Amino acid sequence: MLADSRKKYYVMPSAFPKIPKIQYEGPTSRNPLAFKHYNPEEIVEGKAMQDHLRFSVVYWHTFRNRMSDPFGAGTAIRPWDDGTESVKNAQNRARVAFEFIEKLGAPFYAFHDRDVAPEGKSLTESNKNLDAVVKVLKSEQKRTGIKLLWGTACLFAHPRYVHGAATSSNADVFAYAAAQVKKALEVTHELGGEGYVFWGGREGYSTLLNTNIKREMDHLAQFLHMAVEYKKKIGFRGTFYIEPKPKEPTKHQYDSDAAACLNFLREYGLKDELKLNIETNHATLAGHTMHHELEVAAAANALGSIDANTGDPMLGWDTDQFPTDIYLTTQCMLTILKMGGLTTGGVNFDAKVRRESFEPIDLFYAHIGGMDAFARGLKIAAAIRKDGRLAEFVKQRYSSWDTGIGPKIENGKVGLKELEAYTLKTGEPSNVSGRQEFLENLINEFI
Ligand code: XUL
Ligand code: CO
């Protein structure tokens, strides 16, 4: 009896006892544990900041990354974690995660199946482990109001996925991955997830000498079609996303950038079923800017969500740093506002603190900085749009398409013959400057 009632009233000790709920204190505040720009309720372009930005904390980096590197052991100090792969530890960690996200004031989180619960000795055991942790996630979501932005399956960490998952040369591995995605979809649905991400961790190749690209791509498409079918079957209405990345861990990944993903989706009749989740460091690994990838996705009406991070321009790998560059966040928000804002997607911090930033409080500093950087980007982008000179410049630049020969070309009213006659009459075209420097100065007026 006594034990039972004790259990009932047991309240878990705080993992961050010295950290208060993070508040907005405005740009003049010198409190490192306060927002200077992210003011959730503040209205920008008719919508609250929190609804524009839809911040999300990732489970894998923030709660599972021990912060090792190829040269040394993990440095992360996480006093709540007993370091075991037990379900009990996973459940406890889930409660800590929600305490963190609640104190931070982020409305969403995202996870891979194997981040939240340990892989068992069999699929049955792994599913059982996942169910046990999902129970805690569900009750914590209910307690705090924090929602799941998207779920996903980890189809790259276990050695069985050495040759890929959906693109594995081994059909049994494809089947295993399919089974894992089935469960991850069910769990995401159960938790009311607003989306589901497919990142092809090892869907690529290390050498072409042993690879049949055509067969692997066909299998990947078949895999996604199966997922779409199952999604409809269980009534999951969240958005499916594909996340481009060119390399790491493989030498070449099939979903290498936004253009490659869009081509793949169109080729295999999947364009209406998946949008893109664009990540900054993946864009830069592909030799693009984040702005480029966002514009390519938005132009195809396929920009769904973003993984907000940044790389180090001096290093050529996926450093997954927190975004702090206001120029970058301004560009992101210019494109996002232009396309009408995020709907089911969000600004998901797929970012990790540096190995040297090993204390729990660093997790707060990192996220606060990222949220403030995006809040500033949002306000700056809105100010640039309100000013109107940038949009007007672009509109003017294309004005020859609005009257005269332009609309005739756009509407397919003329062909080569008519354009020859037109050119013979009008002579040499005259161009005007693109004014790049003028525009760069204009943007800097607002930064
Ligand atoms: C890896 C990466 C993933 C995806 C989800 O670079 O970005 O964490 O976001 O699988
Ligand atoms: Co990512």
Q: What is the pLDDT of residues 151-210, one digit of tens each?
A: 999 999 999 999 999 999 999 999 999 999 999 999 999 999 999 999 999 999 999 999
Catalytic residue among 61, 112, 189, 288: 112
Helical packing angle, 123-144 and 87-104, nearest 10°:
30
pLDDT band at residue 381 under the 50/70/90 scheme:
very high
The CATH number of whichever domain residue 140 belongs to comes to 3.20.20.150
Q: In terms of domains, do 366 and 415 share one?
A: no
Q: In terms of domains, do 154 and 184 share one?
A: yes
pLDDT band at residue 8 under the 50/70/90 scheme:
low
Stretch 57-70: mean pLDDT: 97
Stretch 50-74: mean pLDDT: 98
Contact 26, 36 (CB under 8 A): yes
Instruction: Look up tokens 């893109």; give the residue.
Output: 276
Q: In terms of domains, do 225 and 190 share one?
A: yes
Q: Is the pLDDT of residue 16 over 70?
A: yes
Confidence (pLDDT) at 13: 86
Is pTM beyond 0.75? Reply is yes
Pocket flag, ligand 1, residue 152 (CB < 6 Å): yes
Confidence (pLDDT) at 316: 87
| Amino acid identity for residue 332 in this structure | C
Q: Is the pLDDT of residue 402 over 90?
A: yes
Rounded to 5 degrees, what angle do the CA atoms 383, 387, 392 make? 125
| CA distance linking residue 223 with residue 167, whole number of Å | 9
15: which residues sit within 8 A by CB, 6+ positions away?
79, 80, 96, 99, 100, 360
Q: Tally Cβ neighbours within 10 Å of residue 314.
A: 6
Q: Where in the sequence is the domain holding 422, given as residue range(s)? A: 390-444
pLDDT in tens, 303-347: 999 999 999 999 989 999 999 999 999 999 999 999 999 999 999
Pocket flag, ligand 1, residue 243 (CB < 6 Å): yes
Is residue 164 helix, strand or coil?
A: coil
Mean pLDDT taken over the chain? 97
Q: In terms of domains, do 141 and 253 share one?
A: yes
| Tokens describing residue 83 | 């370091």
Q: In terms of domains, do 278 and 397 share one?
A: no
Q: In terms of domains, do 207 and 284 share one?
A: yes
Closest by CA position to 322, among listed 70, 117, 57, 74? 57
To the query of whether residue 115 is one of the catalytic residues in this protein, the response is yes
pLDDT in tens, 106-116: 999 999 999 99
Q: In terms of domains, do 329 and 399 share one?
A: no
Pocket flag, ligand 1, residue 307 (CB < 6 Å): yes
On the question of a cis peptide bond just before residue 118, with omega within 30 degrees of 0, the verdict is no
| CA distance linking residue 300 with residue 269, whole number of Å | 14
Confidence (pLDDT) at 11: 64
DSSP 200: -
Number of compact structural domains in the chain:
2
Q: Tally Cβ neighbours within 10 Å of residue 69.
A: 10
Q: In terms of domains, do 374 and 395 share one?
A: no
Residue nearest atom 7 of ligand 1, based on CA coordinates: 350
Distance (Å) from CA 158 to ligand 1 centroid? 15
Contact 94, 116 (CB under 8 A): yes
Residue nearest atom 5 of ligand 1, based on CA coordinates: 199
Q: In terms of domains, do 318 and 337 share one?
A: yes
Confidence (pLDDT) at 103: 98
Q: Which of 242, 307, 320, 322 to mutate to test the pocket of ligand 1 (most atoms within 8 A of CB)?
A: 307
Residue that finishes a domain, picked among 340, 358, 387: 387
Residue that finishes a domain, picked among 364, 387, 410: 387
Q: In terms of domains, do 203 and 245 share one?
A: yes
Rg of the Cα trace of the chain?
24
Strand extents, DSSP E, 287-338 = 303-307
pLDDT in tens, 230-244: 999 999 999 999 999
Residue that finishes a domain, picked among 387, 402, 418: 387
Confidence (pLDDT) at 157: 98
Bridge partners for 310 per DSSP: 321
Q: In terms of domains, do 410 and 375 share one?
A: no
Stretch 277-286: mean pLDDT: 98
| CA distance linking residue 319 with residue 316, whole number of Å | 8
Q: In terms of domains, do 234 and 254 share one?
A: yes
Closest by CA position to 338, among listed 380, 381, 372? 381
Q: Is the pLDDT of residue 212 over 60?
A: yes
Distance (Å) from CA 424 to ligand 1 centroid? 55
Is residue 144 helix, strand or coil?
A: helix
Instruction: Look up tokens 């996220």; give the residue.
Output: 367
Confidence (pLDDT) at 10: 56
| Tokens describing residue 75 | 């440095």
In percent, the amount of the chain with pLDDT more than 90 equals: 97
Confidence (pLDDT) at 245: 98
CB-based burial of residue 398 (10 Å sphere; 0-12 exposed, 13-18 middle, 19+ buried)?
A: exposed
